[in-house]
Each structure stands twice: as structure tokens, then as C-alpha cells.
Structure 1
Amino acid sequence: RGDVALSVAMTSISTLLAPFITPLLVLALAGSTLDVSAGDMFLSILQVVLLPVVGGLLLRTFAGRLVAGILPVLPLISVLGIVLVVTGVVGANADAVMTTGLLLGLAVIAHNTLGLALGYLVGLAGRLPETGRRALSVEVGMQNSGLAASLATAHFEPLAALPGALFSVWHNLSGAAVATFWARRPPATEGDREETPAP
């Protein structure tokens, strides 16, 4: 029950900026550069995210009846795909999971929880309506962990994909809990909201 258009716009922009911003963030936070081509990473993002989306839109437009027939099973296929990615990454890093799994799990939970909370608070500080706050919270707190694991596997060591894989498991649980909580509390309509005094 959030602002879907705002969420989709933010996801699209952040995905397109990722190959350019990610190396700069690593330089600023870790003090070193990434030994990976921004162009190669950008192409990977196109392959993993944008091409399937465009392909899905084209299929829906030109083969609507076919898509309508298989639409009920597509979410299950998506979940199975993520499960396979997570299983492969965790299996390839079993030793690392045994030694640092608890610490990494706590970091993943903290990252997700802070993202959900800070996204909502920024929306509140920016005086967004409740639907906008919810969209911002989900956008900041929930990340494309499948994309993260794919990029890490393609451009770094397999161990780099482990945080994304664990995040995928956790944020599906936390996201479902937050969605259920908000679904039971419809946001106020324009007429129901009190007028916010001008600054």
C-alpha cells in the first residue's frame, strides 16, 4: 500500500547508477579501487535486470494470452531461482559460513533493519505522505540481492557473493513481515490526513 510509481522510479535510477557509484563508494569507504570495469558491470546489470524486464514487457504486450496462462506459476519460478542462487553461493562458501556466519548474519539484519527505519524517517522528515514513506522505507531497506550475488560472482571472488545471498534470505522474511504489518493499516487518504502547517 505504498507509492508504487515512486518505488519503481527509485529502483530504476539506482540500478542504472550502480556501475558508476559502486566503485566510488568502495574508494571512499575502503580506501581502495575496485579492479573491475564499470562498463562490464553495467553490461552485467543490463543482462540481469533490464533485459528480462524489457523482455517481460514485450511478452506481455504481444503474447498476453500465453503469459496469462502461466502467470500464476511465475512467482514460484522466481522464488525457486533465488533459492538456487542462495544455495549455490552458501554451498560454495560453507567454511566461511561456519566461521563467520553469525557475525555476517547480524550485519545483514542490522543493515536491513536500519535501511527500513531510516528510509521511513527520511520520508517523514521530508513530509512525504504515508504512501511515500512506505515506498522509501522498502526501497532503502530491501535490495536486489539476486543482482548483488550475480555481480559478486561474476566480478569478484565467490566469497563476495555470500552477504548478498544471506541478505536474500533475511530480507524476504523481514519484507514479508513489514508488508503484512502495513497491509493491515491502510494509509490515510488525502481527505483523512490533517493539514501540515507551512514552515
Structure 2
Amino acid sequence: MKLFIHISNFSNKYFAFITILVAVAAFYMPGGFNWLNNYMTILLGIVMFGMGLTMTPNDFKLVLTKPVPVIIGVILQFTIMPLLAFGIAKLLNLPPALAAGIILVGSVPGGTASNVMVYLAKGNVALSVTMTSVSTMLAPIMTPVLLYLLAGQWIPVNPFAMFISIIQVIIVPIVLGLIFQRFFPVAVDKSIEILPLISVIAISGVVAAVVSGNTENIASSGALIFVTVLLHNWSGLLLGFLVATVLRLNEETRRAISIEVGIQNAGLGTTLASAHFAAQPLAALPGAIAVVMHVISGSILASIWSKIPVNNNEKGNKREIA
């Protein structure tokens, strides 16, 4: 068991590096990974089931005790990222499928990896966990609606079908995880430390599936995809921090909101794109690239902030609401 825990810690620490290696392998040896396309929904469901195993009532405690930063953070989550994606799609005159893909990445909830990044960045971890949980539970409504409103001009969107998919891929596995945690707490406690390994394997499988099935598209438009994803990700991190600063939230909260806004559940975006835009395979690529890029940029930012002391009492920043 100790060996598995060690491997799990290693995989969590080097998640970005592992997914890059998997993506490169899938690009140059697509035949060895194409079979994963049949299991993308299951793979993401495994990740969400793991999230359900670790969720507790405390994850939502801030909604009742200190709701203001949670409300601000979730509003920013579902406004900054989708609107940024829409603006970038217009600015770069993206092909329809790629425009829809990056808007989908912007419309999904925050990613679970963000919680670890906020911890390393000396941010407000409780707020980070609550934002991830709340935005995830709101995703069945917010993601289809935002995609329909913002991406409908590029590609047909069926919001009801996407609502059903998100319920199946996110809500059902999370609920099953919560039930399993309730009735088998001992088993959950013993296995909780290897969940990062399972999540890394599952997300890497999603990336490999998309890359292996789109090698020609990546080769022909790879630069444009990378520029789109990086511009979207970095702008989200920056704007999240700037808006939180303008609202005079404290330093820990600013860091948490920045990372929560900028780091998306790109694996969900990739799976939804593959399921609903199968005729437009290019739509899944922004999500696959974002899985890797968000982890890299978030880790770099967390590393920088980890070396900068938090000062929640600086002048002009005394709004202690989190």
C-alpha cells in the first residue's frame, strides 16, 4: 500500500509532465490509444466519483457562514472565462469548431487540481474547495446555457442534451461517491491517498483519446490551438486576481479566486465536446490542450506565490470577508 501511496504522490506532483508525455505518445503512436475513445465518459466519471469520495458538508460551509467571497468567486467563474473565450474566438477569428471548443472550456466549472494549487500558493483553501464544489454542482445549468448563448452562432448546441450529459458524467458519479463514503468510511479512508493516481490516469486517458484521434488536426492548426488556450488561461488568472483586488478582498482570497477562475475542469470540456460535437473533432482539442496547460500555468503561479508572504492587512486591502 505504501508503494501505491508513493506512486500516487509522485503522479500528483508531476501531473503536468505525465500528461505531456502521454499526449506526445498519443500523437506519434495514435494506434495504441484510439481504443480509449470508447471510454472517455467512464474515465471522467471515475474522476468525479473520486471527488464525491472526498466531499464533505464542510465544503459548502462557507456558503452559509461567509457567502460573499463564494458568491463573488462563482460569479467570476461563470462570467470571466466564458466571455474571455468568446472574445478570443472573435479576436483570432477562430474556425467554428475551435471557437465552440474554447467557449466550452470557459463554461465548465473549476478543476479539482486548483485546490492543491491554492494550498501551495498560500491562498484561501476553504474558499477554493467551496468554489470548486459549488461551481461543479451548478454546471448542469450554467455550462449548457452559456455554451448555447455564446457558441450557438458557430455550431449547433442542444442545451438539454448537454444538461443530461453533465448530470450523468458529474452529478451521478459524485452522488455515488458520497453514498459510498457514507456507508463504507473505513474503505474510503484507506484508499483516499491513492485517488490522485487514479485521477491522473483517468485524465491522461482522456487527453490520449482526443490527441490520438486528432493528429492531423493538431498538425495543421496546433499553433493556433496553443495560442488560444494559453491566452484564455493566462487572461483568466490575471483578471480573476485583478477583479478580486478591485473588490478589496484580502490577499489569500485574491489568490484563491485567481486560480479558481483560471483553472477549469478541462477534462469535462473535452468529454462533452467529444460526445456532442462528434462531427467537429476540432472542438475537443482546446479541452485536451487545456488539461495540460492549466496544470502547468497554475503550478508555476502557485510556485511563485508560495515564495511571497501573504499580507492580509495591507493598506486598502482590509476587507476581511474570507
TM-score, normalised relative to structure 1: 0.86
- Residue 82 in structure 1 maps to residue 207 in structure 2: no
Partner Cα separation in structure 1 for residue 160 and residue 248 of structure 2: 37
Partner Cα separation in structure 2 for residue 6 and residue 90 of structure 1: 30
Residue in 2 that maps onto 1:168: 291
Amino acid at match of 1:127: R
Residue in 1 that maps onto 2:145: 20
Shift of 1:65: 0.7
CA distance 1:193–1:81, change in 2 (3 Å): same
- Residue 91 in structure 1 maps to residue 212 in structure 2: yes
Amino acid at match of 1:18: T
Residue in 1 that maps onto 2:262: 141
Contact 1:10 1:139 in 2 (8 A): no
Residue in 2 that maps onto 1:180: 303
- Deviations 1:97-153 (Å, cap 9, x if unpaired)? 111112211211111111100110010111112222122212221111111001100
CA distance 1:129–1:176, change in 2 (3 Å): same
Superposed counterparts of 1:1-199, under 5 Å: 1-2=123-124, 3-4=127-128, 5-14=130-139, 16-27=141-152, 31-32=153-154, 34-156=155-277, 157-189=280-312, 192-194=313-315
Partner Cα separation in structure 2 for residue 59 and residue 183 of structure 1: 35
Partner Cα separation in structure 2 for residue 159 and residue 195 of structure 1: 46
TM-score, normalised relative to structure 2: 0.55
Amino acid at match of 1:175: G
Amino acid at match of 2:160: G
3-state SS of paired residue (1:98): helix
How many aligned positions are there? Answer: 192
Partner Cα separation in structure 2 for residue 84 and residue 143 of structure 1: 18
Contact 1:6 1:132 in 2 (8 A): no
3-state SS of paired residue (1:143): coil
CA distance 1:71–1:91, change in 2 (3 Å): same
Partner Cα separation in structure 2 for residue 116 and residue 152 of structure 1: 23
Contact 2:248 2:318 in 1 (8 A): no
CA distance 1:65–1:125, change in 2 (3 Å): same
The alignment yields a C-alpha RMSD, in angstroms, of: 2.2
Point out 4+ residue stretches in structure 1 off by more than 6 angstroms: none
Amino acid at match of 1:24: L
Shift of 1:43: 1.1
Contact 2:241 2:257 in 1 (8 A): yes
CA distance 1:131–1:73, change in 2 (3 Å): same
Partner Cα separation in structure 1 for residue 139 and residue 265 of structure 2: 11
3-state SS of paired residue (2:264): coil
3-state SS of paired residue (2:157): coil
Contact 2:165 2:272 in 1 (8 A): yes
Question: Could you tell which deviates more after superposition, 6-15 or 37-46?
Answer: 6-15
Amino acid at match of 2:151: V
Shift of 1:159: 2.0
Shift of 1:67: 1.0
